[in-house]
Amino acid sequence: MSDSAGTQKKMLITGVSGLLGNNLAYYFMDSYKILGLYNSHPVTIEGLKTAKCNLLYLDSIKKVISEYKPNILIHCAALTNVDKCEEDRNAAKKMNVIATKNIIRGMNNGDAYLIYISTDSVYDGVRGNYSENDKINPQNYYGLSKYKGELETSKHENSLILRTNIFGWNIQNKRGLAEWILEKLKAGHRINGFKDVFFSPIYTMELARVIDISIKKNVTGVFNCGSVDSCSKYEFACKIADRFSLNKTLITPTSIGEHNFEAKRGRNLTLNVDKIQKVLGYQLSTINGSINSFYGDYKNATSPKKEKQHLSNILIHNF
């Protein structure tokens, strides 16, 4: 995308080494001049400039913003491990609140467009089908810290907050939910799927399209952004298995109540996405549609660095 003078606009993406950050960089790299920031996990993306920046140091992010002068800043960097956030609240506060606060201060009331990636975990997960007007009542510190990040973001007038739950292909040797399901099923291992936990997951590249349209329309405010429908974690795993022609009998339906997690989790975090669909004039994908795109990118080798992934070190045993 170019401005009125024909100069390509600049986009700054924090957390470029993470799942969403690198997927957004991959999606937007032909439309914008992009600088991707990472902290402890260096990443190389062909055709893209990346740089190390510790967001906990205000002077560091201020320097990057003042020198790069981005037109758009997408803040993806966060501590997203729910149990880790519960165990180390100080680390969660630093990454999810203080870093966000530093970005806002670093922008210094400029007119750059800021997009903050939040989470469905800001809701309590009791009844589901949450709208943006529903009460904020996070059940764990991860959700609370992300909501506090929303409050910091809202201090920047030209900002967009997206509450979401994503899956996709990692550029690094990491694993998200869908990738973990695939690895285990391909290896013929049994896995557990929660039959009583419901969500509205969206493929990262579908979320990227939503962000793309939002930028073009300069949409601001707080929005839910997930698939138009929902399913249980167990059903999600079965859908992945079906699409990749894997043995779904290896997936055992279980209850979240049978597992002891450090952090409490909401059981029904399904999202109502009517508001964003109306504002954008865009029909969001179904879960099956997102999984089809996830599968299509795998088959077409268009997912970021898919061919170089080595799934290792099991991080999640139950989902």
Residue 235 CB-half CA count within 13 A: 13
For the chain, which residues make up each domain, given as ranges?
A: 10-176+200-231+271-288
Give the per-residue pLDDT at 312: 28
Listed as ranges, residues in the chain with pLDDT below 50 are 305-319
Give the per-residue pLDDT at 44: 83
> pTM of the entire structure?
0.92
Give the per-residue pLDDT at 88: 98
Mean pLDDT over each residue of the chain, to the nearest integer:
92
Give the per-residue pLDDT at 215: 98
Spatial CA neighbour of 177 closest among 153, 157, 194, 158:
194
Give the per-residue pLDDT at 259: 87
Give the per-residue pLDDT at 260: 87
Please check whether residue 86 is in contact with residue 139, taking contact to mean a CB–CB distance below 8 angstroms: no
Helix H or strand E segment including 240 = helix 233-243
Q: For 29-59, how does the pLDDT look when each residue is reduced to its tens digit (9 = 90+)?
A: 999 999 999 998 888 888 889 999 999 999 9
CB neighbour list of residue 190: distance below 8 Å, 6 or more residues apart: 184, 250, 251, 252
Tokens of 25: 């960089």
Tokens of 96: 């999810």
Calpha distance 235→270 (Å, rounded): 14
Task: From the options 3.40.50.720, 3.40.50.1370, 3.40.220.10, 3.20.20.70, give the CATH code of 10-176+200-231+271-288.
Answer: 3.40.50.720
Give the per-residue pLDDT at 315: 28
DSSP 8-state assignment for residue 256: G
129 CB neighbour count, 10 Å cutoff: 15
